[in-house]
Amino acid sequence: MVEQQSSGRPGRKFGPVRADTEEYTALATFLRKRVEAAGMTVQALVETGVTGLNKSAISERLAGAKLDAGFVTAVVEACTDAPELRPSRARLLAEGLNLLARAENRRTPVLDLTREKDPVSRNVAVAAQARTIELYEELRLKNGQLDSLNRVRHQSELALRDATALASVLSVWVVVLAGEVEHLSRERELTMAAVPPDLPRLRSIDSELTRTIERHDRTSARLARTDRDRQLATALLAEAMTRTREIRRERGTAQLPGPGVEEAAPQSGYGDDVDAALDRAEAVSRTIADRLRGAVADLDDGAETLPLSTADNADNGPTSTDDMDNPPRWWDTLGEVPTGVFTWAEETAVSLLATRDPADPSFEALVRKRQSQEVMLLADRLLVHGWAEGSVRLRSTLALSLPPEELAWLVLALTMTRGPTWRAEQGAQMLLAAVVQRTPSDVLALTAQLADVGANLPRVVRSGIIAFVRRPRADVTDYLREQVGQGYYPSAHNNLVIRAVVREWPTEKILALVDELRDAGSEKNSHDFGMLLIDALPQPPFAQTELLLHLWTKLPHLDLDERLPGVYHGESKELADAVAALYQEWPPPLDRAARELASAVMPQLIRRESLASLDMIARGLAEHQLSPERIFAPYRDLLTPDFISHPGTGA
């Protein structure tokens, strides 16, 4: 047997590993190393509660007995909870599960040293056995590193190729659009110098100049992002090649496999339509970004902090302003505003530019005195004159003063109508300013107005609403209490805030809010809030099973029969994970709630799912080290005769 030596770990020293096979010995040794590296003890694992086992049961498993995927996962996660160890969690978890899979598929007998009389021979055998395990692990790790580096190299080469071609095209368009901006600027100056001024021509030139500047800025930003992507692709490729050479030197004859089938080169015929070229550039940029993300993820666990670019405003539709199929919004008619309003906006913008003070109280006065369309026109003039900070401040001030209904209309007009990308950005800025600074009641009314759009709410709007959940807990509590009190249910209200609470708040914090509603004498509100929480759970609620069990225990009067089919709905693999969560070891009184929920969920799944789907669920349960036969046995009457003995449902 191989004994695990203590290396500064607090508590008692581990006893010998007593596994029956070399593979389980290697797995137990791996887990002990994780505990030692984290500076933990068996008692500390018990106190964390992540395994749900007592001290003797944990010690038994760390000695090599009764090891399963749930225990391996729990130990690795508990031992990587510290911030400095968190980046290695995914790699260590994959390594532990690989060792478990190997232990389940191989059975190499452990060398019985008790029969060896000679102490010298016994020591030699122990050292040889330990070195064999060590070399095997080193070889496995090197092979895995080579596979990852091969993927990094391949994705980096493709991204570098596409980024180089795209940068060439965008460079040409930047020069062309810069020339157009210069020409229109001269025309504008000549028109403004005329006496009397030709206002219709000035408006036409100004509109075209604004559009051309937006195109030029967008193309320049795309080019800068492409250059960053190209630099990152080059750095990733160099890093992959450097690590590959190091591994080859260590392994001697190791060779990387080929990069596979080469993908088609990106299209180069962008034509002479700048909008079509930019649309094509967005598609190529998304492909480049996806490849670089994959390369960074494969390089190492901590590489996700590298500055990767992302596709801008992916779900706001085409950015061309020539699409006339949509009803015109106010910015489409700015060229037709009365001369006095245009002159007022231009003159006011010039006076504000003289100070360039974003804290100027004039902003609040302007918002109170002028219509929202006129204020937005003034913000546009500030932007045209190059004072972006003042433009943002003016729109934010407007967002804090408009009634929720009018602000919702304006945000949707900016974010949902096809138009320049910066229009959607303006809408997102205004929404975020309101969500972060206005009262919970105002935010609730605003989100209720935005809910009328339904499932097609743009991503930037959804993200803005969700930002509210990061405000102080008292604000979120007031919002939810009022939401429940006013009867805003998912059928009539955008439920993004409560969904974000379910996903981002810890379970104990959510349950404390349920208790607050009950202690305040609002039994109905407590019940209704529980219903809202259940409706906000993911489908199926794998990670939120603990919250669902607590709700079942705290509010046993909840009528879940009609909601469970919607809660436990999804793909077979997802359903298998959710069902397995109900059958894991839960501490009392959650264990009773889990059994009751399982007895309610299983008949519904069996009646609803096909035999093929149930078979896949059974396979998923087996992967969780659960017995499908035991789980499905109480429901034999609901199953076809051959399902319970189907080969795919074995333990």
pTM: 0.44
What is the pLDDT at residue 520? 55
- CA geometry: angle 328, 331, 334, nearest 5 deg: 105
Amino acid at 31: L
Predicted pLDDT of residue 72: 92
CA distances from 336 to 209, 339, 568, 637 (A): 16, 8, 55, 74
As a whole number of angstroms, the distance between CA 167 and CA 161 comes to 10
Angle (CA) 122-124-128 rounded to 5° is 115
How many whole angstroms separate alpha carbon 617 and alpha carbon 625?
13
Q: What is the mean pLDDT of each run of 10 residues along the chain (651 residues)?
A: 42 76 88 89 84 86 88 91 86 90 80 54 64 69 75 79 78 81 77 66 83 86 82 76 73 41 37 62 72 63 35 34 38 56 83 85 87 85 86 90 89 76 82 91 88 73 86 86 66 66 82 71 63 75 81 66 74 88 87 86 86 88 89 82 49 35
Cβ burial of 394 (10 Å; 0-12, 13-18, 19+) is buried
450 within 8 A of 461, measured Cβ to Cβ: yes
> What SS3 state is found at 359?
coil
pLDDT reported for residue 295: 67
Beta carbons of 424 and 470 less than 8 angstroms apart: no
- Cα distance between residue 516 and residue 529, in whole Å: 11
> Quick one: residue 52, left, alpha or beta (phi over 0 = left, psi -120 to 50 = alpha)?
left
Per-residue confidence (pLDDT) for residue 438, from 0 to 100: 92
Query: What is the pLDDT, as a whole number, of residue 299?
Result: 59
Cβ–Cβ contacts within 10 Å for residue 646, how many? 18
As a whole number of angstroms, the distance between CA 158 and CA 164 comes to 10
Do residues 408 and 494 touch, judged by C-beta distance below 8 A? Answer: no
Question: Read out DSSP for 605-618?
Answer: HHHHS-HHHHHHHH
Q: What is the pLDDT of residue 43?
A: 87
Token representation of residue 378:
């003034």
Q: What is the pLDDT of residue 336?
A: 54
* Six token digits for residue 423: 């229009």
Q: Residue 155 and residue 385: Cα distance in Å, rounded?
A: 42
Neighbours of 160 (CB within 10 A): 21
